[in-house]
């Protein structure tokens, strides 16, 4: 009994902490159902709207006969084939340089 009287402040703090944890835990469980405002801001509804908008698109091919499409110019450049290099570009270089190669002196 003397122990409880000496430590009554500590016991009161522990009781208050327990009551706070119980109150906080019970408050998070009782949430209201989703309202229409919350579902309107849901990212899934944006996806559904986009899919519905895409469903309304029709690809009839009439765009290819349009004069504006026919007036477009192609400014692409031709890709020139290049010779293929070494099979493994990260492999170490050979230790002997080929004779007559650039940067190596020619033997007389």
Tens digits of residue pLDDT in 22-67 = 888 776 555 555 555 555 567 788 889 999 998 888 878 888 888 9
CA pair distance 93, 104, nearest whole angstrom = 15
CA pair distance 98, 108, nearest whole angstrom = 15
For residue 46, tell me if it sits in a domain: no
Whole-number average pLDDT of the chain? 79
For residue 33, tell me if it sits in a domain: no
For residue 52, tell me if it sits in a domain: no
For residue 83, tell me if it sits in a domain: no
CA angle 78, 81, 87 (to 5 degrees): 145
For residue 32, tell me if it sits in a domain: no
Residue-range definition of the domain harbouring residue 19: 1-27
* Biggest alpha carbon–alpha carbon distance for the chain: 112
Domain count for the chain: 1
For residue 21, tell me if it sits in a domain: yes
């Amino acid at each position: 009994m003397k122990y409880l009287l000496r430590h009554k402040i500590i016991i009161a703090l522990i009781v208050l902490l327990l009551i706070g944890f119980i109150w906080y835990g019970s408050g998070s469980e009782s949430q209201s159902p989703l309202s229409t405002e919350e579902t309107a801001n849901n990212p899934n509804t944006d996806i559904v709207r986009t899919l519905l908008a895409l469903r309304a698109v029709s690809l009839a091919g009439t765009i290819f006969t349009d004069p504006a499409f026919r007036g477009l110019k192609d400014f692409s450049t031709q890709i020139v084939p290049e010779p293929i290099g070494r099979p493994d570009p990260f492999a170490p270089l050979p230790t002997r340089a080929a004779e007559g190669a650039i940067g190596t002196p020619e033997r007389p």
